[in-house]
Amino acid sequence: MLPRGRPRALGAAALLLLLGLTLLLGPFLSGGDPERERREPGGPARAPGCARCLLTPRVPSDGQLRGEPSAGLGDHNRSACAPQPPLPPKCEVLHVAIVCAGHNSSRDVVTLMKSLLFYRKNPLHLHLVTDAVARSILGTLFHTWMVPSVLVSFYDAQELKPQISWIPNKHYSGLYGLMKLVLPLALPPSLARVIVLDTDVTFASDIAELWALFAHFSGVILLRLDRLRQAGWEQMWKLTARRVLLTLPATSLADQDIFNAVIKEHPGLVRALPCVWNVQLSDHTLAEGCYSEASDLKVIHWNSPKKLRVKNKHADFFRNLYLTFLGYDGKLLRREIFGCPSQPLPGAEQLQQALAQLDEEDPCFEFRQQQLTVHRVHITFLPHEPPPPRPHDVTLVAQLSMDRLQMLEALCRHWPGPMSLALYLTDAEAQQFLHFVEASPVLSARQDVAYHVVYRDGSLYPVNQLRNVALAQALTPYVFLSDIDFLPAYSLYDYLRASIEQLELGSRRKAALVVPAFETLRYRFSFPSSKAELLDLLDTGTLYTFRYHEWPRGHAPTDYTRWREAQVPYRVQWAADYEPYVVVPRDCPRYDPRFVGFGWNKVAHIMELDAQEYELLVLPEAFTIHLPHAPSLDLSRFRSSSDYRACLRALKEEFHQDLSRSYGASALKYLTALQQPQSQARAP
């Protein structure tokens, strides 16, 4: 506890963990004691009846809490209080600061940003203080989100730690819970005003309304950064903290304890802020004291460890509001603010020009448009521990959609090494996936599997874009390029690492190791534990070489007859339509993103490996087995639509032209192979 005499829970608009909108300060306590609030010393004068209008409301009806219009709904909090200041000009940039560290906090930022962007009408400049993990996640996310009139600046939390590491702290957030103390030092000297948000808040109104409240401030106000610096904020809070820590072993509320102590000594820092801007949903507040109508709500603060499970009179309403933004399609927030000049997003102009050149009457318009789609990407969606550095380590790389989620547990049992998986999901499906992993003992125990969510946008499956996302996030020197509907041999991970070492791959030898592929048509069968057992299943008809009945040329160059007897790796030559599963260095060529939907996506990649003179070496003890499943929508469209197949042929021809430009005369053999007749009905 803090020393005696410390103000009791300055609350509501007062401080950090109670506020969530930090450092816009005020004496109201959310759902607290109105009489005590009116007696609190040090607060500025308030309009008569303001405390009553905020803290003694009538209870909203069920219809009003669902957001339905009704008589008398609207300005309840404002009518009896001081007039609201005018909103900032529509093109004024609003500055927002957030401290974020780790995987889970990064997910919270996304939901917070959806609610903020949904209501905002002004350009925003986000100032994100992050650790390395959150910097990587949020940097990729905002780069691919491409939201107009949103600028993002990052600040390294590691550089700020020495300023606060001397403070004993028992709060679960660790040093990051103290970071807001040093924001005036960390943020640019030219920045005069900023709103600081906790990651666990949900907006229910335009943040410009909150920004407008700066007009009321007349003293030294926290987050009026210019005035804080003039007042010597850094020395002020450090001296106060040292005095507090003489009698307090450690802070329990992180920077909240220090802010409260500073305010006790400097009550002029406090400015009243209506508690509708901090409707706290914790077990020790009466949140309904802050609002009487659904339209009163401004910001919901999930400041209970129970989060969505918190007990509250209107908990269902608040949960539904939060879940609305959690599952909201983020691409719908790529909205222009018309009439406001903004810095063009990287690549945005070129993208718009390319899209404008597309012909909507073109039978292949759908393919062309999908190739140009920029998908939002949330890398390492779940907590992930990078593998320790090993010179011959291998990451399994694959991609999947929601209908293949059930394959994950079996894959984890077969492959004990690191994995990098790209998932093509809607925002709502991403939450279902999160719950699926949390409920699975097998999946939740694996911290070496990195899941990267690529958000759904368009009607064709962007298979090669997904592969490239997963490939780019692999952290080991080598990658096994697989598909989610294959289960590798139980021993394959160890065998691949040993083979890479024995074959001296890397700088001495440029090679792609071929893992022979098989398939079963049975949903239940006994998975072979060795090559000998696999051959027995092959001889009895339980297993087949992959696509033997439908597309044998896709794997024929592997030479399964030779593989049966092989005891050492052997080299094979590239042939038309060859698409084996291979192990290659992490810096191998990326997949060609023009191939979307079904067909030629792996073929083109193997062709490029061959053009770059990779040896194709078949491993004699390696194997992977395809499991049966219903055909994908894209495969069904390929088989049933002649237009679909015609578009695929056009993409193949364009790919070959680009290959010829890149590799010259050596690419002529691919042109010859492309011109060979082949079955349209079965071609991949």
Partner residues linked to 377 by β-bridges: 454
For residue 598, how many other CB atoms are within 10 A of its CB? 22
Query: What per-residue confidence (pLDDT) applies to 226?
Result: 79
Total count of residues recorded for the chain: 684
Half-sphere exposure of 323 (CA within 13 A, CB side): 11
Query: What per-residue confidence (pLDDT) applies to 214?
Result: 75
Alpha-carbon span 29 to 13, nearest angstrom: 7
pLDDT for 186-200, tens place per residue? 999 999 899 999 998
pLDDT for 225-256, tens place per residue? 877 788 788 888 889 889 888 888 888 878 88
pLDDT of 171 above 90: no
Alpha-carbon span 497 to 89, nearest angstrom: 61
Q: How far apart are the first and last CA of the chain?
A: 69
Alpha-carbon span 124 to 631, nearest angstrom: 45
Question: Would you place residue 124 in the very low, low, confident or very high pLDDT band (cuts 50, 70, 90)?
Answer: very high
Q: Stretch 306-320: mean pLDDT, rounded?
A: 77
Calculate the CA dihedral of residues 333, 334, 335, 338 and round it to 10 degrees. 150
Widest distance between CA atoms in the chain: 93
pLDDT for 592-621, tens place per residue? 999 988 878 899 999 999 999 999 999 999
pLDDT of 71 above 70: no
* For the chain, counts of helices (H) and of strands (E): 27, 21
Identity of residue 1:
M
Identity of residue 520:
T
Identity of residue 578:
Y
Task: Look at the block and give the residue holding tokens 């692999």.
Answer: 474
Query: What per-residue confidence (pLDDT) applies to 158?
Result: 94
Identity of residue 592:
D
3-state secondary structure of 640: helix
Partner residues linked to 583 by β-bridges: 480, 513
Query: What per-residue confidence (pLDDT) applies to 617?
Result: 97
Least confident among 41-45, 152-156, 515-519, 644-648: 41-45
Task: Look at the block and give the residue holding tokens 């608040």.
Answer: 318
Task: Look at the block and give the residue holding tokens 């990729």.
Answer: 140
Task: Look at the block and give the residue holding tokens 């969530």.
Answer: 20
Query: What per-residue confidence (pLDDT) applies to 632?
Result: 75
pLDDT of 44 above 70: no
Alpha-carbon span 81 to 401, nearest angstrom: 52
pLDDT for 271-301, tens place per residue? 667 778 877 777 666 777 777 777 778 888 8
3-state secondary structure of 597: coil
Alpha-carbon span 328 to 183, nearest angstrom: 31
3-state secondary structure of 16: helix
Task: Look at the block and give the residue holding tokens 């053009």.
Answer: 611
Query: What per-residue confidence (pLDDT) applies to 641?
Result: 82
Alpha-carbon span 340 to 90, nearest angstrom: 8
Judge contact between 560 and 582, C-beta under 8 A: no
Alpha-carbon span 192 to 254, nearest angstrom: 25
